[in-house]
């Protein structure tokens, strides 16, 4: 198999093509930047990551492309309350999020303990019974203070 970034890019190129859209340079660069990241990025984060290599692609293009990708379901959007959206490629492995309410850092993890997995399964069964609702999936976002911000709190 090729590298995962290339694979994701190829899958998305196929999705664009189905909708009659081309894989332009900005689209490719943004997909690669997102595929390379281990967490959610803001439009500015994405722009700063590729800017040295592709100075011709402006921030406005990044915004426009992200709107398009979101409409097409290529990216998912996360709002953690910092006044700007964060993005990641859709259909990534199931994960949970830890969001720092001080610096807005987002940590993504999928190395669940058996306890966490079983706990959620049990919780879902309980909620299904209570609301007669079939749960297909869940979205978990823990909000709090990250280790770096906790250390700063301790230092002051």
Angular region, 71: left φ>0, alpha ψ -120 to 50, beta rest: alpha
Does residue number 146 form part of the binding site for Zn ion (CB under 5 A)?
Answer: yes
Place of tokens 């196929």: 14
**Total residues in contact with Zn ion, by rule CB under 5 A:** 5
The one segment of 27-35, 48-56, 68-76, 100-108 that binds Zn ion by CB under 5 A: 100-108
Tally of CB atoms within 10 A around 138 = 11
CA atoms within 13 A on the CB side of 32: 13
Residue from 103, 127, 139, 151 touching Zn ion (CB under 5 A): that is: 103
Does residue number 143 form part of the binding site for Zn ion (CB under 5 A)?
Answer: no
Note whether 100 and 149 are within 8 A (CB): yes
In a 3-state reduction of DSSP, which class is residue 94?
coil
Q: With respect to Zn ion, which residue has the nearer C-beta, 17 or 94?
A: 94
The one segment of 15-23, 40-48, 73-81, 148-156 that binds Zn ion by CB under 5 A: 148-156
Does residue number 100 form part of the binding site for Zn ion (CB under 5 A)?
Answer: yes
The one segment of 21-29, 43-51, 122-130, 143-151 that binds Zn ion by CB under 5 A: 143-151
Does residue number 80 form part of the binding site for Zn ion (CB under 5 A)?
Answer: no
The CA distance from 102 to 153, in Å, is: 11
What is the binding site for Zn ion (CB under 5 A)? 100, 102-103, 146, 149
């Amino acid at each position: 198999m090729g590298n995962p970034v290339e694979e994701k890019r190829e899958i998305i190129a196929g999705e664009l093509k189905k909708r009659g859209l081309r894989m332009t340079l900005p689209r490719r660069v943004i997909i690669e930047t997102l595929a390379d990241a281990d967490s959610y990025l803001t439009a500015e984060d994405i722009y700063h990551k590729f800017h040295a290599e592709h100075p011709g692609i402006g921030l406005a293009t990044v915004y426009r492309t992200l709107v398009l990708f979101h409409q097409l379901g290529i990216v998912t959007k996360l709002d953690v309350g910092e006044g700007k959206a964060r993005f990641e490629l859709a259909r990534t492995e199931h994960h949970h999020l830890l969001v720092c309410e001080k610096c807005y850092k987002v940590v993504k993890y999928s190395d669940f303990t058996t306890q966490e997995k079983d706990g959620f399964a049990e919780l879902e069964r309980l909620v299904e019974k209570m609301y007669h609702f079939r749960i297909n999936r869940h979205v978990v976002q823990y909000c709090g203070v990250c280790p770096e911000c906790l250390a700063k709190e301790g230092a002051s």
